[in-house]
A and B are shown apart, each in its own frame.
Chain A
């Protein structure tokens, strides 16, 4: 890589504490640490500002949101915006939108967990002809822009009379259409020792047994990340509900928000921001509770936000 030059022992980049434990270097280390935290905290402030602005504004009266303040603090904090936001829009309460979002998100979690784990078991643990070809195809769908399928899918569901039902939004989840989760589980299962199923086979266990009593319990970490992400992605999803739903009573929160934006424009900014906060609440709660898990899941499995 680099030619061996005369090794200069006093190179400042070397881990200093090992071979010159002078008080000066301790001071330099401290200085470095302070600079690190100043930079990192500054960056945190910038990154979190939009979210904090959203939360702070949701408690402010309308006059202060559009007004000449960048400050987050207000002297007139109140819950008025949330009271207005909870009333909903178009004669539908926000609680109803919440329930709809919840049904869709929980449906997505259940469907994805069941279908992806079963399919992943086939890819990871069973040898059958065509497996590698199918696996390649599944990987290819990871890169495929889904816009190429939405129009025919819409036409089919429309002809089946399923538009304005939750079926088009959920059926893909029960058919492992999110190839990403299948892939994630395949990778996870491949790392489990093969002695496990060999031993079980010698004992006469079949695939159903091996899958149910050996694989599933061991796959807990993968199942949890899948659940978290499929919940959040479904909760935030906008395009599919926009395509398929047209009665406000069935809208999930993102569609309700759009409706709110369209109908009130900026006349009641505070309530709109409060509704945005409500719409993000489960995601934020999930994040606060599972943040370690979520962030680690991303780094080991390459998930996207």
Chain B
């Protein structure tokens, strides 16, 4: 399909105005033709499903009988459903502890790597690797083994006289285990931080040094404000990302969210409700709550960002 010069080849009309309006019509046609794949996908795979998901969230639907309208019942039941509330708790603590720690690690390591030294490229690649494989089933299995009874982590800690037993079977240790799993994947935001750090003009730091500013002052007066758009981007993307953890939760908990519901992440519970219990309406209501929460968080981020995110031009 590369070379065929048919679609919008125009015979050149004489009057320039006519030519312009004709060109505009041709552009519109070409525009929609080129946009067709996305447009079809958007309607058939996003907008259509969203509308029917909203409708289903007000119904009882088990896939075999027609949906039955029940109004807001799904939503009100959700807030009396202990497992739902637990899944919210699990997910929120994962987001609240995991995301800031991951970003802090990413920023710290990015600053460490920002100086010109040998081996920089090697370290960048080594630290990035986990981000590429972290959400895979393979790594979930490895994580389960490493943090299991008599696994390397248990062995390593008992060397220091700490006896926690396996983390996988201990309800109070599963969350730290998942937080470590996400922190371990600090490489992706780190690389983005590094790119941001490279954009900060070196003379800013030199001038600050002249003024006698120490590393702490430099960080808060130069690095943080200059990097704030990148921090904002990473914070938003990682937060939204964290809400949607699924594969590792499914594998590590054998698809059940155990022990004692301590790994019942939101999306796992949604999956279980929809595709094990066939309560499609209920699961749709959960999906919509997730959309609303993510939407509100995005909005809050954008609103509050005005006070701390500086885009080039309005700084100084």
Contact = CB atoms under 8 A, between A and B. Distances in A.
A15 interface: yes
A262 B206 CA distance: 59
B152 A70 contact: yes
Interface in B99-147: 109, 112-113, 115, 117, 119, 121, 123-139, 141-143, 145-146
A11 B208 CA distance: 10
A138 B188 contact: no
Nearest to A229: B132
A303 B188 contact: yes
Contacts of B35: 119, 122-123, 134
B2 interface: yes
A148 B137 contact: no
Interface string B270-299: 110011000010011011101100110010
Given A273-B142, A304-B241, A66 B133 contact: no
A219 interface: no
A151 to B, nearest CB: 5
Contacts of B243: 145
Contacts of B270: 147
Contacts of B207: 1
A141 B240 CA distance: 12
Contacts of A126: 27, 30-31, 34
A3 B208 CA distance: 9
A185 B123 CA distance: 28
Contacts of A36: 112, 115, 117
Contacts of A253: 137
A54 B30 contact: no
Interface stretch (A20-28, A42-50, A75-83): A42-50
B212 A8 contact: yes
A33 B117 contact: yes
Interface stretch (B37-45, B80-88, B169-177): B37-45
Contact of A295 (B36, B191, B284): B191
Contacts of A44: 123, 126-127
Interface string B193-218: 01100000000101111111111011
B136 A3 contact: no
Given A143-B298, A151-B56, A299 B194 contact: yes
B117 A138 contact: no
B141 to A, nearest CB: 5
Given A51-B130, A148-B287, A295 B267 contact: no
B132 A40 contact: no
Contacts of A153: 45, 49
Contacts of A257: 137-138, 141, 251
B308 interface: no
Contacts of B159: 70
A148 B56 contact: no
A182 B138 CA distance: 29
Chain B, interface SS category: helix
Nearest to B206: A14
A258 interface: yes
Contact of A216 (B2, B6, B30, B191): B2
Given A176-B38, A208-B5, A304-B241, A236 B135 contact: yes
Given A138-B38, A152-B49, A212-B1, A2 B211 contact: yes
Interface in A172-229: 172, 174-177, 182, 204-209, 211-213, 216
Nearest to B280: A151
B4 interface: yes
A141 B46 CA distance: 8
Contacts of B93: none
Contacts of B9: 204-206, 209
Nearest to B108: A43
A86 interface: no
Contacts of A148: 49-50, 53, 284, 287-288, 290-291
Contacts of B298: 143
Given A69-B152, A153-B49, 17 more contacts: A5-B211, A14-B210, A115-B41, A128-B27, A138-B38, A138-B42, A148-B284, A151-B49, A152-B284, A155-B52, A208-B1, A238-B137, A238-B246, A273-B141, A284-B133, A298-B188, A299-B194
Interface of B: 1-10, 12, 24, 27-28, 30-42, 44-46, 48-50, 52-53, 56, 63, 109, 112-113, 115, 117, 119, 121, 123-139, 141-143, 145-146, 148, 150-152, 155-156, 159, 184-185, 187-188, 191-192, 194-195, 204, 206-215, 217-218, 221-222, 233, 236-237, 240-241, 243-244, 246-247, 250-251, 254, 267, 270-271, 274-275, 280, 283-284, 286-288, 290-291, 294-295, 298, 316
22 contacts: A1-B204, A1-B221, A11-B209, A37-B119, A43-B109, A53-B146, A54-B142, A134-B42, A138-B42, A145-B240, A149-B50, A151-B56, A155-B63, A174-B37, A206-B8, A209-B9, A212-B3, A254-B138, A292-B121, A294-B132, A299-B192, A305-B185
